[in-house]
Structure 1
Amino acid sequence: METLNTSQTISNAPLEEKGMDFQWLRDEGIKHLQRLSGAIWTDYNLHDPGVTILDQLCYALTDLSYRIDYDIDDLLTGKDGNTFESLYSPAQILTTNPVTLLDIRKIIIDVPDVKNAWVELAMDTDPIIYLNPTDKSLRLTNPDETNVVLPIKGLYKVFIEKKNVGGDVQPSVRKRLMACRNVGEDFAEITVLDSQMIYLSGNIEIGEVEDVNAFAADLFLRISRFISPVISFYTLDEMLQKGLQIDEIVDGPLLQHGFIDDEELLKYDRKTELHTSDIIRELMDVQGVSAVNNIELITSATSEKWRLILDTQKTPKLDVTKSMDLLKFVKNGLTITLDKESIENQYETLLSADEQPILDISERDIVLPKGDYRNPGNYHSIQHHFPKAYGIGELGLPESATIEQQAKTRQLKAYLLFFDQLIANYHQQLEQVKELFSFQSEDATTYFRQSVKGLVPNADDLLAANYEEWLADNSSQLETDQIRKNKFLNHLLARFNESFTDYSLFLFDYSNKSSKNMAPLEQSMRDKMQFLRNYPAISSDRFKAVDYTESFADPVNRSGLEKRIAAKLGIPAPDGTLLSEQENREGFYLLEHILLRPIMEDYMAYADFLVSRNITAFEKVDDTYVKCTSKAHGLQSGEQVTINGTGTLTDPGYDGDYIAEQVLPDSFLIKSPFLPDLSTESFIQEHVPTWIRTTVDTTFLLLTRPIEEFAAVNGDPALTRCKVTGHGLADQELIEINGTVGYNGKFVVTVDEEQPDYFSIEKPFSADEPGKGRWISSSQKKDPYSLQLTYVFPNWQDRFKSEEKDDNNFREFIERVVREETPVHLTVYVRWLNKEEMAVFETTYYQFLEQLRNT
């Protein structure tokens, strides 16, 4: 009754929005007219035509202001009804690829038929990698037990508890993990744990229970859940009811079955032992249990009254059938006979209730209701609202109107057309406000116009013949639109704390180099749009690695980090073609060192790698070098070998350790005096000399950089100058050179600050050096696998070319972006390859990934 008696009135208080206040607009308009006209116009009463026009314009502005005040979701709703096309939901924008061990656990538990899972750091590898503490080389064997185990960081072991006995969940778990693996990380082992069956024995005294079989099934379910807990999934509403904020709830991977409470998951760690006291407490908490006596925990191997140590390679599971044989249910001193079949059926029915369905997206995300399309651009001409006496409405002038009256009317209509066009454009601007904040369309228009043809009564003949063509032509304001559109996009990027400022500056500097034939403003606009369209994946998958279990030939199968860096640099998505076969297609590769670690297949190949092979001939090259013939030797320049079979107790002959200074298809050179007596065909047939690799250092092959040129140092014949662009060495730093004939070894470098791309070594220059060689800093990490990435870029594309004395070197910008975007715990290497080097790399890399996929 109180509501019915409340009077409903229209407030006469001034409107907060001045644009909706007709009287305020009219007063302001008259004040403006008075300032402009002074003494020329003194009659501001309602009958004055100028005042009448002012009234109509003020009314039109109040209507426009009213439309501007529509709910924002209505303004963002287009004719197609899609309201939030360019606004991402919390589950889209706040979820991430798994980052922590807890996140990885959630991903695994979300796989169907997985009950629980645990993730641990892998402390060793299979096979074990050994580090020689003397020469820092890596080996897969430890024959003299002087080497130390090299721990690899970034490897995980996964242990899975299944829900059901049948079926193999390991392939499904591996597929899910590979699809969300992070860069620099891998899963060394995925193990599905067998069940360790647990039985209970003892006596349980019960009170008043209506259905003892249903009571027993509930009791067994409670004990089963204690021994092997069930991880619960929650809807978004249920998590909100727990008092969590939306950003806390969706912080982590997006799961199909709902959300997992972190605190609950942390409680359910792997059990290593069971205590009888805990079981007794659980039993006593069951309503209807009066007392428990002589409770014991039993496995197939042992029986314990107080503490049962569990098998670490299995997960405990209650065996209900055997427990029913060993437990006695007693009431008033009498043993109750149980219907075991009924209990097992009811128990299985209760277990099935633990199955979690895949939730609809509306239960895992905030799905906002669509707005109502209000058609804010629909303009009704002000000329419809003038008094009929003006003759400019639909009815027009009467047939008796004179020519002079018709002319004056047309003059007024033409004058009012300017106002109609302006107000119609404002309506169209409001209609298109959704496009201003959109990144779905590549249309740069930010000033929108609307044709008034057909909207203004009886005025079409006043419009020019090319009026609509002129109205649709935006060419004159294209640059202005592009500048404004870039500002809108900058605002949208800033909402995600992203910026393209530095990249945009480089676009202007490199606009003449770009192969995209696109003006810098347009290219910047399109790159920003592409970035925003893909932002949910670019953001959440920024540390995601390539799925090496899927084909790398699919251009979509690239790491999230690659995609993010490419988007930040305006590099197009890969199209499946090789970079070495393209003249100006930009792109790059990301190589994870952890994937290069040896696996068991490598160990078998490694064993063959170290097999002794025969030398069939020794030939003199010159006074310094001897050529050793050995078909299909497989050596690379710089590898160390040991030769045996030519020496005696007093004369070693060729026996000893050497470096393969230069390799040919069926021979290699060693630095040694030529020994004619030991090089005859008969000597070789009798003694059968052999060679074997003594060091296999994968660090050298992985982390070395090429020396571009050896040159003489003017005025000092004892030195050789080496050219290495951007070597980054410090003066007096120790390096190792290999892959040459005359320069192999370790050297202390001399660096001249005025020539940053050169360093000198204490070695006489040799003009006869056939190879350019490779080098590595002796301070370089001797673990080539852990937490390291190498980015491989082509050096011949327009923007990627390095030009001397270029203050705005795009290469430097690329390397800066790469280091800024790569997670800080990862060591980054950037390599620039020419076409020939890229062709070799791509062939090898694709073969490697294909072999990795098939392991």
Structure 2
Amino acid sequence: MNRSTKGYIAKKKPGTSLYENLHQEALELLQKLSGATWTDYNEHDPGVTLLENIAYAMTEVAYKIALPIEDILHSSKGAALASGDNGLFEAADILTTSPVTFEDYRKLWIDEIPNIKNVWIYPVDSYEKELANIKGLLHVYVEKYEYHANRKNEQRENEEIKQQMRSLYQANRNLCEDLYAIEVYKPLSLVMDFHITLSDLVEGEEVLASIIHKINDYLAPEVTYRSLGQMQEQGHAVNTIFNGPSLNNGFIEDVSLKDPKNYINIPEIIKLISRIRGVVNISDFSLSFLDPVAKKQHVIRESLRIPKNMTARVLFPKTNEQLVFENSGVVFYPDLVQTKKQLSFIQALDASKFKAASHADNTIDIPTGSALDIEEYFPIRKQLPELYGVGDHGISQGASPLRQAQVQQLKAYLLPFDQLLVNFLAQLNKLYTLYDVRTEDKQTYFTNTLPDVAELTELLMPQTTDMELEELERYWSVVTHELMRYFDRHASSRLHAIADQLLARYSEVFQGYALEKINKASYLGLIPEETYKNQILKSKRQLVAEYGTLSYQRAKSFDYTAIKTALGDQEQRCLAGVFKKIAIATGIESLEIKSFTKTVMDAGIHLHAPTEELALKISEITIDTPLGQVEIDEVSVQFTHVELQRELREGMHFVGGDEGVLSTVLKEGINVENYSIQPHPHKEGAYLVLHRSRVGAYHVVHIATSKEAAVSAVHQAVAYLLELNKRSEGFWIVEHLWLLPDFKAETFGFCIDFSKIVASFDLVLNQYKKMNFATRDEQISKLLHGIQEGTVQFEGLKREGGYACLVLDEGGEELAISENVYPSVPALEEAIGGLARVLKSTTVETVEELTTCYVYYGDEKVDETFFSFTMSWVLPAWPVRFQNDNFRKVFEHTVYESLPIHIVSEFHWLTFERLQAFEELYFQWSDLFQLQSEDPSVIEARNFYAFELIKMLQMFA
């Protein structure tokens, strides 16, 4: 209780209630408007009474407006909100993302795949031995919980883990990135020896179990999971908590993802043991392991650098002979059976910190709200005093006709007020519908039937009619809905504003105005403007409706390993992630992964060159055109109408002369004004349909049996071509990285061009022989370090026509050979001397900049920069919107805005013939790519088609 009230409810201050404010404002307005004719504003005045009741009714409306939004939306929908309704998503759906950073991938792999304890990821170009050439390749190292003693079982499990990691990676892969290699750490098994003094408060078995557990946690820390509550208790914001991939077992903090241990430090481990409860003194402690080379046990007494790609762990002791405990001068050895039980208990308790967080407890649900009858309304007339005669009791039957008429007049006067308030409540109750992004409804104003229609029949019943109550209610509902539809003429603008407001929640701006102008210009104004707006509204709503998925997958790339499945499976055929978002944002309605040339060929559009030999010629025809009469000496008839009724696909043949004929037909064929219908000169009752091409020539494209059939054929053709334009829109994406051959294959090389330092010094060094990726980078590293340290050697190698300069390391290994061939030994020696002089004044960084890495496809080579963070967008050039230069700019700008800044995009707008050649190569490559076969013939064929694709993309550029 508020002490300032001194135990009683404080009296409401004047002017603090909505009713009082409405009443006072209305009175002031009445005084201004009718002060000269209406002098009595006291409470007994009927006008003031009406005003009071209207103000009171409005307070009820205001009360419902002020209800919690979750109650209004629940009532409006008729059920609790689900994630995504009205663009409102659960935190787990809208704040999470598919993996973006290395930490994200580590969390996903640890969470999803059994027996993975930790994962470390390094970009390939970060190693000292590797040159910064191909970007986006990841080298992954895996640490397991348990290792098998049996070699075959261990190898089998490792391969299973690698395959699971690859599959999970492909399903969540970032753009222009790929796995270079996955390596599973091997265990470095350690054995303990110690002499430890204990207090009387503990048992040796419990202490030994704690020692094993703590040392192993020190050597390879466990990744800890947190629940949502724990993360919030630690002060993490919700945005931070849900940032990253959606996990099954809770949340993993980045600080929990520790780097791998490089050293075993015995003094640190002794300090760790000394803090265990009951440990009094450690007189001796050591760790030992079996040296695989010397086949001897190696004792670690101070420290040891852990060998690369290995993880150290203490084994459970096989014997207790070297595990000495002492208490009060008594020496004893721990019981290993009891120790194992204690260790299992400790591990079980510790594991509860890791994967015990329930998924249901780690979400923030949308508030449920309560179902309320928002549209319930009590008419104003029923609130008036009985004396007015408009309430439920009405007026006495003995009242005069004038009095009865006055009552009806008052009811009629109050009817618009009641209907307006009923409409307002209907509008409030349709709030969910207004913001529903999964509907195609175009209505923004709503109405409802009065609750007291049965008592207003004399006012609502049309003259000269006699309706039952149900008919009257339906009639009045139609009247109010039609009236509302009349006032709802600007519904489209309001719905666009709502969609824009929903998009603004996610800082998204849809380029609707630009697309509307582009559509209008592309389709020559042939499509009604409202149709454009509806299409754009549909795209806006779709973007909001799918924003949870699109946001989660915003960095996710296309899964090339599933393209064949996607093309064959209707459910998986849709674009995903950023590609789907780009398609929606640019108004592309067809979101399927498909062959665009096949779409055209399946459409049945017949295209002919004018020089083609045809079966029928018609001479000396004069036709009427929009430009007047035109005499045509000869018209080629591309189709002879044999059957009276034919499908449009078989009955309309278009003509063109260049490789852009499809673009011409799809643009000019949608314009009715480009068609002319003329009587057949040699066949009575038949009509010719002629189509005018861009150059002004007319060609017969159809023969109809009547003028009506000809007109119908034209309209069908236009509608069909409009639909084909939409179905032809889309794009292919080629991430250049995926065209690389296997990294283990000997297909990699390099080149150092010293003429870039001194133009007059023409010397180019190439790799001595083609190598695999890792070996090639090692050779470059040796060469660069050898140049820096002056340890490289130069020799002459006899070649046909002369001598080449061979570069070797200090051990005599061939590193590189000159591309130049010198005619004599003196000429070679002069070149070697020149190289030595150049290198003296050149830093290794400069030589590295001169180094170009190549990928070889047979004898052909490709600069590796082609594969680094670069992708090609291949698009059909024939849809009318895609022919528009402004649309191309908008599309490319949308791509730049949607992709990470480090990704380079190249755009290729191809004619039908070029895209057909591209798709043929693409499908041949992808079919071989998905086989993942080790067959040399399959690998050779895959590399062949990959190189053909590379050449084609380079030609398009």
Aligned residue in 2 for 1:504: 513
1:310 is matched with 306
1:269 to 254, 259, 276: 259
| CA drift at 1:323 | 7.5
Q: Which amino acid aligns with 1:283?
A: I
Tell me the distance in 2 between the aligned counterparts of 1:433 and 1:279.
Answer: 65
Q: Is the contact between residue 413 and residue 459 of structure 1 (CA under 8 Å) also seen in structure 2?
A: no
Shift of 1:450: 1.8
> In 2, Cα distance between the equivalents of 1:414 and 1:388?
17
TM superposition shift of 1:842: 2.4
Query: What secondary structure does 1:838 align onto?
Result: helix
Do 1:156 and 1:189's aligned partners in 2 also have CA atoms closer than 8 Å? yes
**Are residues 479 and 208 of structure 1, via their aligned partners in 2, closer, same or farther at CA, if it must alter by over 3 Å?**
farther
Q: Report the alpha carbon displacement of residue 15 of structure 1 after superposing the two structures with TM.
A: 5.9
Is 1:364 matched with 2:362? yes
How far apart, in 2, do the equivalents of 1:695 and 1:73 lie?
68
Check conservation: 1:124, 1:151, Cα contact below 8 A.
Answer: no
How big is the shift at 1:483? 0.2
Q: What pairs up with 1:424-573 in 2 under 5 angstroms? A: 424-452=422-450, 454=452, 457-459=455-457, 462=460, 464=462, 466-473=475-482, 475-477=485-487, 479-500=489-510, 502-511=511-520, 513=522, 519-550=531-562, 551-553=565-567, 554=569, 555-556=572-573, 558-573=575-590
Q: Following the alignment from structure 2 to structure 1, what is the Cα–Cα distance between the partners of residues 303 and 452?
A: 90
* Cα distance in 1, alignment partners of residues 884 and 249 from structure 2: 51
C-alpha contact (below 8 Å) 1:180/1:544 kept by paired residues: yes
Q: Kindly indicate whether the alpha-carbon contact (under 8 Å) linking 1:589 and 1:793 is maintained by their aligned counterparts in 2.
A: yes
Distance 2:580 2:460 in 1: 55
Q: Say whether the 8 Å CA contact 2:261–2:306 is kept in structure 1.
A: yes
Q: Distance in 2 between matches of 1:271 and 1:118?
A: 12
Tell me how large the CA RMSD over aligned residues is.
3.1
How far the C-alpha of 1:477 sits from its partner, in A, is 4.6
Conserved? CA contact 1:280–1:295, under 8 Å: yes
Task: Tell which deviates more after alignment, 151-160 or 43-52.
Answer: 43-52
Bigger share in helix: 2
Q: 2:133 matched to which residue of 1? A: 151
Among 121, 124, 131, the residue aligned to 2:123: 121
Tell me the equivalent position of 2:186: 194
* C-alpha spacing 1:253/1:694, structure 2 compared with 1 (3 Å): closer
> Which amino acid in the other structure matches residue 448 of structure 2?
Q
2:41 matched residue in structure 1: 44
CA distance 1:852–1:94, change in 2 (3 Å):
same
Equivalent residues of 1:109, 1:116 under 8 A apart:
yes
Q: CA deviation at 1:14?
A: 4.4
Q: Post-superposition shift, 1:793?
A: 0.9
Q: Distance in 2 between matches of 1:408 and 1:5?
A: 50
Counting only pairs closer than 5 Å after superposition, residues 277-292 of structure 1 correspond to structure 2 as: 277-292=267-282
Q: 1:414 touches 1:462 (CA, 8 Å); kept in 2?
A: no
Partner of 1:552: helix, strand, or coil?
A: helix
Residue 603 of structure 1, CA deviation: 5.4
Instruction: Determine if contact 1:792/1:833 at 8 Å carries over to the other structure.
Output: yes
Q: Which residue of 1 aligns with 2:28?
A: 31
Moved more, 368-377 or 287-296: 368-377
Q: Deviations over 1:575-599 (max 9, x none)?
A: 3542112242121111111111111
**1:697 pairs with one of 852, 861, 869:** 861
- 2:142 — aligned with what? 160
- 1:740-755 to structure 2, matched below 5 A, reads none
C-alpha contact (below 8 Å) 2:79/2:371 kept by paired residues = yes
Q: In 2, Cα distance between the equivalents of 1:259 and 1:560?
A: 23
After alignment, is 576-585 or 113-122 more displaced?
Answer: 576-585
Aligned to 2:222: 230
Aligned residue identity for 1:402:
S
Q: Are the structure 2 counterparts of residues 59 and 832 from structure 1 closer, same or farther at C-alpha, using a change threshold of 3 Å?
A: same
Give the corresponding residue for 2:340. Answer: 344
SS at match of 2:225: coil
Q: CA deviation at 1:151?
A: 2.6
Partners in 2 of 1:589 and 1:377 — Cα distance?
51
CA distance in 1 between partners of 2:586 and 2:29 (Å):
52
* Aligned counterpart, 2:870: 788
Contact kept, 8 Å, 1:508 with 1:520, in 2: the verdict is no
3-state SS, counterpart of residue 375 of structure 1 = coil
Q: Shift of residue 815 of structure 1?
A: 1.6
The verdict on how the C-alpha distance between 1:124 and 1:224 changes in structure 2, with shifts beyond 3 A counting, is closer
Whether contact under 8 Å (2:249, 2:359) holds in the other structure is no
Secondary structure of 2:879's partner?
coil
CA deviation map 1:241-269 (0-9, x unaligned): 1122222222222222111122232xx21
Using a 3 Å threshold, how does the CA distance of structure 1 residues 538 and 8 change in structure 2: closer, same or farther?
Answer: farther
Q: Residue in 1 aligned with 2:592?
A: 575
1:758-783 Cα shifts (integer Å, max 9, x gaps): xxxxxxxxxxxxxxxxxxxxxxxx62
Structure 2: gaps (5+ residues)? 149-156, 292-297, 463-471, 600-723, 750-799, 802-818, 820-855, 933-957
Partner amino acid, structure 2, of 1:97: S
C-alpha distance 694-568 of structure 1, shift in aligned 2 (>3 A): closer
Q: C-alpha distance in 1, partners of 2:377/2:542?
A: 34
Letter in 2 for 1:385: Q
The structural deviation recorded for 1:491 is: 1.5
| One-letter identity of the residue aligned with 1:568 | A
Mapping for residues 447-846 of structure 1, pairs under 5 Å? 447-452=445-450, 454=452, 457-459=455-457, 462=460, 464=462, 466-473=475-482, 475-477=485-487, 479-500=489-510, 502-511=511-520, 513=522, 519-550=531-562, 551-553=565-567, 554=569, 555-556=572-573, 558-582=575-599, 583-584=724-725, 585=727, 586-599=729-742, 695-698=859-862, 783-802=865-884, 809-846=886-923
Partners of 1:822 and 1:256 lie apart in 2 by 28
Answer whether contact 1:310 1:316 (CA < 8 A) is retained: yes
**Maintained 8 Å contact 1:199/1:322:** no
Q: Tell me if structure 1 keeps the 8 A contact 2:874–2:910.
A: yes
Partner Cα separation in structure 2 for residue 150 and residue 5 of structure 1:
76
Q: Which residue of 1 aligns with 2:71?
A: 74
Kindly provide the CA deviation profile for residues 79-110 of structure 1, in whole angstroms up to 9, marking residues without a partner as x. Answer: 53324623123332222222222222222221
Q: Which moved more, 1:389-398 or 1:547-556?
A: 547-556
**In the alignment, is the contact (CA less than 8 A) between 1:552 and 1:850 conserved in 2?**
no
* Pairing 1:389–2:384 present: no
Shift of 1:572: 2.7
The more displaced of 832-841 and 350-359 is 350-359
Residues 604-650 of structure 1: per-residue CA shift (max 9 Å, x gap): 9x99xxxxxxxxxxxxxxxxxxxxxxxxxxxxxxxxxxxxxxxx99x
Structure 1 position 97 matched with structure 2 position 79: no
The alpha-carbon distance between structure 1 residues 802 and 46, as it changes in their structure 2 partners (threshold 3 A), is closer
The one-letter code of the counterpart of 1:697 is K
**Paired AA for residue 333 in structure 1:** G
Query: Matches of 2:579 and 2:356 in 1, distance apart?
Result: 31
2:119 alignment partner, SS class: strand
Matches of 2:304 and 2:7, distance apart in 1? 77
Change (3 A) 1:573 1:169: farther
Q: Answer with 467-476 or 485-494: which moved more.
A: 467-476
Give the TM-score normalised by the residue count of structure 2.
Answer: 0.65
Q: Which moved more, 1:89-98 or 1:490-499?
A: 89-98
Conserved? CA contact 1:209–1:215, under 8 Å:
no
